Amino acid sequence: FAGVLSNPRLMTVQSLTVVMNQNVTMSCCSASASPPVRYTLFKHNQQVSSLNSSDSSPALFTLTISSASDLGPYKCKAEYNSSTDGKYSNSLSFTLIEPISKPVLSSPTSHTPQGQNVTLSCFSENGSLPITYLFFKGKQSISPQKTMHKREAAVIFLLVNSSADSGTYKCKANNSFPNSTKYSNSFNFTLTAEERSHSQALIISLGLLLLLLIIGLALAIPFLIIPSYKASE
């Protein structure tokens, strides 16, 4: 006598996170079924494959993730051969991991005076999130890892205090895609001539103001002398 079918459970043997062209295996089993049971796998409500199970072991379906449409959702149906009523499983979907693109290391300016604070940003335009970034000067890391869960650049702040601080800088990026680490372009800052101090600028400003006053007086003297000369005649 065939027992009452319970809703089967659809599970994946591997992780739900996959890469393109990866083989995946899903298992489907109804715990209360009395063999034989027919299991059918559906994708987007379209039949993919059917298997007959003659014992209590789950049905195993293996397929290849070759496009975004292969990610699912999948469902499994369990039924007896003599029955038109089947029970459906939970829904299952895979998530595709994409490799990251080469990160770009940049700064709003590449020229800076000594003692200036500057920013460096590292950004990979493509690749599955989250993405982890790490900054280097030469071969030494200069910051803790920064893990970005949004599509935005990782940013660090630097003080360029001498020519040794001008570079060479790089960053690397990686995500959960296997062997996905990529390195950025190199970036160097160019030190510009030091800006004049505030005292020097103040002295120059006062000197220019005094010069303008002298010129103004020199231009005004004839207009002051001539009227008084005419008045004395």
Q: Residue 142 class from Cβ within 10 Å (0-12 exposed, 13-18 middle, 19+ buried)?
A: middle
CATH code for 104-191? 2.60.40.10
- Is 42 in contact with 19 (CB distance < 8 Å)? no
CA 119 to each of CA 107, 141, 155, 168: distance values in angstroms, whole numbers, following the listed order: 6, 16, 7, 14
Question: Could you tell me which residues come within 8 angstroms of residue 57 by beta carbon, excluding any fewer than 6 positions away?
Answer: 29
pTM as predicted: 0.61
9-97: in CATH 2.60.40.10: yes
How far apart CA 82 and CA 205 sit, in angstroms, is: 101
Strand order of the β-sheet with 9-12 is 9-12, 22-29, 59-65
pLDDT digits (tens, 9 = 90+) for 153-191: 999 999 998 888 988 999 999 998 888 899 999 999 998
pLDDT at 195: 45
- Tell me what pLDDT residue 56 has: 82
Q: Which residues of the chain have pLDDT under 70?
A: 1-3, 82-84, 194-203, 222-233
Closest Cα partner for 139 from 110, 107, 119, 168? 168
pLDDT value at residue 202: 62
Please state the φ and ψ torsions of residue 122, each to the nearest 5 degrees.
-125, 130
Query: Are 68 and 49 contacting, i.e. CB atoms less than 8 angstroms apart?
Result: no
Place of tokens 């369990």: 78
Domain ranges within the chain, ordered by starting residue: 9-97, 104-191
Share of the chain above pLDDT 70, in %: 88
| pLDDT for res 81 | 74
Q: What is the pLDDT of residue 83?
A: 62
- What confidence score (pLDDT) does residue 231 get? 54
Identical fold at 9-97 and 104-191? Answer: yes
